[in-house]
Amino acid sequence: MPDEQSLKEAGRDLIGRIEAVMDKVDWSSMVEMARLLPRVRRTFVTGAGRSGLVARSFGMRLMHAGLPSFIPGETITPAIGAGDLLVAISCTGETGYTEYLSRRARSLGAKVIVITADPQSSLAGDADKVIHIPVAAPDIVLRAAVFEHAASLCLDAVFNVLSERLRVDLAEFQQRHANLE
């Protein structure tokens, strides 16, 4: 049965693994994406499972920065097309739903950025740009957990720098923040 010490050690192990991955991320790819985001017409973000939660969080952050963002599958999501960007997040790069949306977005003229732990995956093969989160772990559960945390931190870093560069002030941010909670 887990005790306080074993949970603390497991948490420290995760933080260590995430830090090691963050040191190996190709930040120039993140810079490219950060520069592209304000120039596209709209950004659509997608993923499945926990990667989908990371995608939704990033979409929310883009909205906070004043950039139009949408989640495919939501009833208020408009049609994607030329001038738009799809950011697809998948640890394995083999998630069927995410792969389908990526191929569909490209066929409709949108650019596609894939964030994945496997740059040789099917999903990555269909992308205009691949951002590699270099996670290596002995089992998929640990690998996915480290990927999702590292991807989330990378995307929050993009938001933090973008909002500063776009000069999003606190009052604007607060006006966009949810208030029906």
The reported pLDDT for the residue numbered 173 is: 66
Q: Is residue 138 part of a domain?
A: yes
Q: What is the CATH number of the domain that holds 39?
A: 3.40.50.10490
Inside any domain, residue 173: no
Q: Which pLDDT score, from 0 to 100, does residue 168 have?
A: 72
pTM: 0.92
Is position 48 within any domain?
yes
The boundaries of the domain holding residue 60 are 10-165
pLDDT at 136 > cutoff 90: no
Q: Quick check: is 149 in a domain? A: yes
In a domain, 22, yes or no: yes
Nearest to 136 by CA among 81, 91, 167, 181: 91
pLDDT value of residue 25: 96
3-state secondary structure of 85: strand
**Helix and strand numbers, DSSP H then E, in the chain:** 7, 5
Domain membership flag for residue 5: no
14 occurs within a structural domain: yes
Catalytic residue list:
148
For the chain, what is the domain count? 1
Show the tokens assigned to 110.
Answer: 């949108």
pLDDT for the residue 56: 97
Question: Mean pLDDT throughout 32-54?
Answer: 97
